Amino acid sequence: MAGALTERDFVAKLERAGFGAVEVLEREPMSVDDCALYPLFDDELLGLMRRLIPPEMQAEVGVAIVVRARR
Amino acid sequence: MSTAVDLDVALLKSEIRKTYASVADEPDREFIFPTGRGWAEDLRYPPELRDVPDAAAESFAGVANPWELGRLAPGERVLDLGSGAGTDSLVAALMVGESGRVTGIDMTPEMLVKARTAAAELGASNVEFVRAEAERLPSPDESFDVVISNGVIDLIPDKDAVFAELFRVLVPGGRMQIADVTIQNPVSEEGRRNIDLWTG
């Protein structure tokens, strides 16, 4: 997840590459517990996230988005 | 490859390949991971999912449903970036039909084997799976009408290179419809240097 961008940066990079009509059409929040469902999040990493991310922010550490753009 | 921070990209890719090779080879292993046909059904995947062989669907590892943006048209040429075990590529192959073409790109050999096996089982002759990295696509300019992808781009260090490649291979007026993960707050440079945080 360290490689993920904020939505604003994601859209900006698409536009900088030349894409237009960029639309984010769905947003599904991901909590630390949701991240635990994915194979790249091992116990060590999850422990780190739970220790380092403030509790009030753990409910939405990421957002699964669906994006459309046109060349 | 240029990235914003000092990151061992080769090590990062190796770790990602290892993890997804495990997903491919051990679909029954307890990843606690929403893989598989049931997960795709929960995401409300299109009816073509029913025809996708288990060899592909059991290792489905998407993060959302890019098909909610719309179906593909018969005859369209489609690139599936990070095709994994092939579920989205095969859904696409069924949508575009015999007159269309689907190319799935992945860097994990174990996933490519599964995807090719599933395509053969389905009898899909309009789809191919190619080992390649997203930053260097082995496709000519303007060779696809649509790019699809699900849960892949967040794992790639050089997003600018990826988006430039996608722009290059799409025809003018072509579209991308993808699902991915974003974060609420930028990760610190220290975090970006941590391979474990990247691969998660």
Can you tell me the distance from the alpha carbon of B144 to that of B141, in angstroms, rounded to the nearest whole number? 8
Would you place residue B4 in the very low, low, confident or very high pLDDT band (cuts 50, 70, 90)? Answer: very low
Can you give the pLDDT at residue B163? 96
Contacts of B163 in chain A (CB under 8 A): 13-14, 16-17, 19
Whether B183 and A17 lie within 8 Å, measured CB to CB = no
> Which residue from B72, B81, B75 is spatially nearest to B130, judged by alpha carbons?
B81
Contact B160, A12 (CB under 8 A): no
| Chain A environment of B196 (Cβ under 8 Å) | 42, 44-45, 48
ipTM of the complex: 0.80
Cα separation values, B197 from A66, B85, B139, B188, Å: 23, 24, 31, 11
Percent of chain A scored above 90 by pLDDT?
Answer: 34
* pLDDT score, position A18: 97
Who has greater pLDDT, B183 or B97? B97
Nearest partner of B150 among B58, B192, B97, B87, judged by Cα: B87
Residue of chain B minimizing CA distance to A12:
B160
Q: What is the pLDDT of residue B155?
A: 82
Considering only CB atoms, which chain A residues are within 8 Å of B81?
none
Q: Side by side, which strands form the sheet with B101-106?
A: A20-30, A62-70, B170-183, B144-150, B77-81, B101-106, B127-131
Overall average pLDDT of the A10-39 stretch: 88
Size of interface A-B (CB pairs under 8 A): 151
Q: What is the pLDDT of residue B2?
A: 39
Residue range A2-18: average pLDDT? 89
pLDDT above 80: residue B11: no
How does the average pLDDT of chain A come out, rounded?
Answer: 85
* Residue of higher predicted confidence among B91 and B15: B91
Among A11-15, B15-19, B33-37, whose mean pLDDT is lowest? B15-19
Average pLDDT of chain B to the nearest whole number: 85
